[in-house]
Structures are given as structure tokens and as C-alpha cells.
Amino acid sequence: MELLNSIKKTMGGEAKLAQVVTEIKVEATKEIKSVANKIKLGHVHLSGCTGCLVSMADNNLGLIKILDDYADLVYGLTLADVRHIPEMDVALVEGSVCLQDHESVEDIKETRRKSKIVVALGSCSSYGNITRFSRGGQHNQPQHESFLPIGDLIDVDIYIPGCPPSPELIRNVAVMAYLLLEGNEDQKALAGKYLKPLMDLAKRGTSGCFCDLMTDVINQGLCMGCGTCAASCPVRAITLEFGKPQGERDLCIKCGSCYGACPRSFFNFDVMEEFENINEIIAGALK
């Protein structure tokens, strides 16, 4: 957190991103690779369906490259033989927290204490998502009834919404988190700017639903009918009627994706204008 705060400050110091990006590209992947220190990455599995982890694995060779060159997987129930939550640079937390499950509650607190950056991986972790619909009563722990997104118990630094989150966004955040922690000044500046909107989502709140488009986009006079929200909805709850989104609210699983994906929730021009270069930098880092 400390670290993030200091970086957030330097980000405000208006490094010209376009210039920074070109410099990074000139130094190219050679520079990114030459950084020796791998970061410590962990996957903390709470009440989620493992779809987030599968998405992460769906980066295929990209994931192997990340684990070879940039990050050591120091924790992960499925992938690493470690019992207790260790010190981590970046903790990717999948799933919401079951209040009646003492161990989960302890795990998320421990994760916060031991991690520099806590990332809510996926919509259950960020917004509760489908676990919001739990009423308990499931064999063999019927008392497991109440599930909260992790942000209701700890401070979260970055959200990766999605059900499941896309492999590409997990990849982008992993590469950027690495640059933020281990990169040179330019790389830190780029990573800070890239990650800022995802940090802002984490600050914005722990509930997501179609209604965010109503309250924070349409009601605010910002919707321009692009249709992105409909494309991002995992349950096809959104259709465009006369060019404006309509949500089948009973279908909505409260994943928060549509709002995050909407170009009018956030749009950081300095980063977007560099899309060609940034895509090349990420591709280069994973080559």
C-alpha cells in the first residue's frame, strides 16, 4: 500500500506518457528482461469457482513466460505446495469471503497483511457476483450463507472484474504489476498510469450490477450507445434498444463487468492513445 501510494504520487507528476512509452520501446524487451528480480505472486482461493484460475492458465505460454521470467508463484492451493499464506508482492484473490467460514476470513486478513498489492481477481472477489445470490443451505455446510466481496473486509488495490476475468487482462495486470515493482522509472510511470483506472474501480465500491450503467452512465448523460456493455455481459442480460442499453435485471448476476468495460466509466486518453505501443510492449515482454 505504501508503495502504491508513493507511486500514485509520482504518477501525478505528469511524466509525458507518449515519450515514456517510446523510450521503453526503444530499450525494448531487452530492458524488461534484464531486470533480475522476480516478484512474488500468489493465488488466494476463496469462494470462487476456479474459473478465474483457469482463465489465468489460459494465457498458456504467456503464463509460463510470466512464471519463468517475471514472477515466482509462492502460493496457490492448486498449483503450489505451500500451506500458509506467505509474504507476497502481488496477491491475486479469487472468490468472495464466506463470513461463516472462519478460515476464509483469517486468510483474507492475512493476505492483506502480507501483500504489497492485493488484486481482486474476478467478479466474485471484486463485487460478490453470483455468490451474492447465496441463501446458504448447502450440504455439507448449510450455515455458509453470507458471502462478501473482499473489499468489504480489507483494502483492495486493484480490481480485475470479469466472470471469468479475461486471460488478457490478467496478463496485462501481471506484466504491469511487475513493471511497477521492478521496472525503471519510465516503466513504473507507464505501469502506474495503466493500473490507475483499475485502482479507481477498487476504490469506487464493492457492488456491481446493470444499474451502474443507469446511475453512473445513462442518468449522468454520458451514454453514447456504443454497445460495449452488451458485449461484456457474461449472461447476455443487456440488449440495445433504440441505441441504449436495457438490462434484463433478473438475469444480471451482479458481476460489474458492463460498467468497467463501458468507455464512459473510465477512459484515460494518455494510455489509450498509446494502444499500439503498449500492445507491442506487452507482446514483447511475453515473447
Partner 1 sequence: MIEDPYLGKYITCVSARSTDKEILKKAQDGGIATTLMVYALEQGIIDGTIVAGEGDRPWEPRPFVAMSREDILKARGTKYSISPQISWLKEATRSFGLDKVGVTGVCCQMQAVRKAQLYPINMRDVPGKVAFTVGLFCMENFPYKSLQTIVEDHAAQSLNSVKRMDIGKGKFWVYTERGNVTSLPIKATHKYEQPGCHVCLDYVSNLADISTGSVGSPDGWSTVFIRTKKGNEIWSKAVAAGLFETKPIEDVKPGLDLVTKLAKEKIDKNRKTVEERKTFGVNKALRDPYA
Enumerate binding residues for partner 1 (CB under 8 A): 18, 55, 161-169, 172, 194, 197-198, 216, 220-228, 230-234, 240, 242-244, 255, 257, 260-261, 263-269, 271-273, 275-276, 278-279
CB of 222 to partner 1, least distance (A): 5
User: Of 7, 210, 271, 282, which lies in the binding site for ligand SF4, with binding defined by CB under 6 A?
Assistant: 210
Residue from 258, 271, 281, 286 touching ligand SF4 (CB under 6 A): that is: 258
Q: From the centroid of its chain, how far is CA 68? A: 21
By C-beta, is 4 or 255 nearer to partner 1?
255
Q: What are phi and psi of 120, to 5 degrees?
A: -80, 110
**227 near ligand SF4, rule: CB under 6 A:** yes
Of these partners, partner 1, ligand SF4, none, which one is at the site of residue 191 (CB under 5 to 8 Å by kind)?
none
Question: Which of 96, 195, 181, 113 is CA-nearest to residue 147?
Answer: 96
Q: How far is CA 272 from CA 17, 67, 194, 269, in A?
A: 10, 27, 9, 5
As a whole number of angstroms, the distance between CA 267 and CA 251 comes to 27
Question: How, if at all, do strands 39-45 and 88-94 pair?
Answer: parallel
Is the separation of the CB atoms in 41 and 82 below 8 Å?
A: no
CB-CB contact of 254 with 205 (8 Å): no
Choose which of 53, 97, 217, 282 interacts with ligand SF4 (CB under 6 A).
Answer: 217
**Residue 137: CB minimum distance to partner 1, A:** 29
Note the residues at the interface with ligand SF4 (CB under 6 A).
208-210, 213, 217, 223-229, 232-233, 235, 237-238, 245, 247, 252-258, 262-264
